[in-house]
Amino acid sequence: MEDKQLASAVQKIFLARTRRGRIFKATVFWITLFVMFVVPLGPLVLYYMWRHGNRIAMEDAADRIAPAEQTTAPEQEAAPPAGVAEQV
């Protein structure tokens, strides 16, 4: 009798006839979705970073340096030396 009860419980779980079955099916669905679509992207991202990572890092470093050079204080207009009169 216990075998039939166990088989019935397992069947209910896998057929989502109970709250536990619905949770189980939802969990299996999300894990499967993650494994099928997100995990395989890992090698592609690693390959992209391996091929283009140095160029991206160099561009990023250049972007950090360039604004620092551009933000230097603007040169003030040079005043004529003392004792020199303006000529009209």
Full-model pTM: 0.43
Per-residue pLDDT of 60-83, as tens digits, reads 888 888 665 555 555 555 555 666
Tell me the domain boundaries of the chain.
2-67
CA distance 40 to 50: 16
- Helix crossing, 19-33 with 2-14: angle to 10°? 50
Per-residue pLDDT of 6-59, as tens digits, reads 888 888 877 878 888 889 899 999 999 999 988 888 888 888 888 888 888 888
